[in-house]
Structure 1
């Protein structure tokens, strides 16, 4: 591991040296001639949150390429070159991006403000040994909770204020406006979910634990591992029995994962397959709020 990261550091220095030759400015100027804060983020949800708070005062680059499963991503030197010139680096945390600590060291950027957006979260602990081995001690999918998103947005706002205190009021207003939208959406669906007869739904991957905690729901997952692998015959039998007993009419499949197993289960129990967003890559030009509204609407409809 040490040799791997030492090699990456040497490559990163080389990449940065060449990229620096073409520019004397660390930040890109906006239309008013003011420099923008260069922010590097790990995946799409973090980009959405930074954009909501920073708006036209930030220039955002995303490290994990669109269509790439973040759990499986292993960065190369060129993926991390931007960290050496960025002012702020935002990652979700809770083990979602296991490579960030070493990447920050390799960037060797003394001015870089690294933000673990989930800092201070009441994290859900994984209990399944295979899940712990695959994804770590905690469930990392906190951005799929509206309450979790509030926390992450606040942490991002604090980092932008730290980097650019002269625009503190601007960032705080944008943060508060976005949180107001999150809370409005939460209030709308909390009332709906409280009145729903059923409280459980079935998804391809158990990525919605924090969302379930928000609304008093329960998720059951089809796949043991995200985007790959299949449940055993016994597990599939148990899921079929569960779906029949609970009159499940919808099986959710994530946009980043193969829906094959979800379709198999749906065919067994006479259910339909619906796409649900994990907001790890950009999809259909939809915002975070668009996709969360779509998710909540589909989950609520499945409980009727």
Structure 2
């Protein structure tokens, strides 16, 4: 009888140990996903959300740290903003100095399973030329996502991270990336052929966010504000802008949602141009996705240069 009791206790102990191990395994596995079985992904701002959504689609649950309507260049996260990273599997940020707080955020949450993705990794960054801007904001212009070629590179880095986090759905992410890449290349080829035929290559924007797009299409931008949307032009700078618009036959001044339109509208009126909206994708606007926003941008630029 005693032997049977001892055997029962041993078997029960083994079963409880196995159950405990299985439970621990399930917790570790499921903590990377929400209750719907989707991969928890945190992104810094809207453009990164667009890329993650294009590749992850219904396999990901996306949380955006920088709210729509907040200028990403000026965002200063608080401790509560880092909380979403504690239960995330993937954190996607642009890099190139756009989110100077990113490394601190990753280190502070202590999430050892978190996969941090600098989406711009491997890019040929355009260097800032203003020494004061370099000192304050970093060496590079961060607006890589406004280049179709840049978007291809960033989305490829994101695709690799999603596969690393969720290898069971590798084929799904690969297919979505290929579909998105094909859309990017189709849009690029369409407007490359159109823009190459135009002798006029210059356009004017609210802030200098389109250098990478200009590199894609051999265009030239001038702007009311600098790369980091800092400061209105002085009277002398405004006079130079007016002369530039007249000399280059600028018919459209592009206005962005995140930059005050006051100076742009004044400039447009001064040179007899119209003010038209252009998307920086720093926030979600007009319910347009990345492809729709960039097609609108390229269409507006092309029409302004004709």
TM-score for both structures, normalised by structure 2: 0.88
**Superimposed CA distance per residue, residues 76-130 of structure 1 (whole angstroms, 9 cap, x where no aligned partner):** 1111101011000000000000000101110110000000000000100111223
Tell me the matched-pair count.
277
Partner of 2:74: 72
CA distance in 2, matches of 1:117, 1:80: 19
Work out whether residues 72 and 98 of structure 2, in 8 Å CA contact, stay in contact via their aligned partners in 1. Answer: yes
Distance, in Å, in 2 between the alignment partners of 1:72 and 1:181 is 32
1:295 maps to 2:297: yes
Q: Which runs of 5+ in 2 are unaligned?
A: 1-29
**Residue among 37, 40, 44 paired with 2:42:** 40
Q: 1:214-229 residue pairs with structure 2 within 5 A? A: 214-224=216-226, 226-229=228-231
Distance in 2 separating the partners of 1:295 and 1:120: 25
Q: Secondary structure at the match of 2:207?
A: coil
Q: CA deviation at 1:131?
A: 2.8
RMSD: 1.3
Bigger mean CA deviation after superposition, 277-286 or 224-233? 224-233
Asked if the contact 1:205/1:221 (under 8 Å) is kept, the reply is: yes
C-alpha deviations, 1:232-269, integer Å up to 9, x for none? 11111111111111111101111111111111111111
Q: Which runs of 5+ in 1 are unaligned?
A: 1-23
Match of 2:276 in 1: 274
- In the TM superposition, 1:260-271 aligns within 5 A as 260-271=262-273
Give 1:50 deviation, angstroms: 0.5
Which range moves more in the overlay, 85-94 or 218-227? 218-227
Q: How far off its partner does 1:228 sit?
A: 4.6
Larger-Rg structure? 2
CA contact (8 A) 1:228 1:258 kept: no
Name the residue aligned to 1:51: 53
Could you tell me how far apart the structure 2 residues matched to 1:80 and 1:187 are?
Answer: 40
Indicate the SS of the match to 1:95: coil
The correspondence for 1:28, drawn from 10, 26, 34, is 34
| Contact persistence 1:223–1:261 (CA under 8 A) | no
TM-score (norm 1): 0.89
List per-residue Cα deviations over 1:35-77 (Å, max 9, x = no partner).
2110000001100100111111110000001100000000011
2:141, 2:227 within 8 Å by CA — same for their partners in 1?
no
**In the alignment, which of 78, 88, 91 is matched to residue 89 of structure 1?**
91
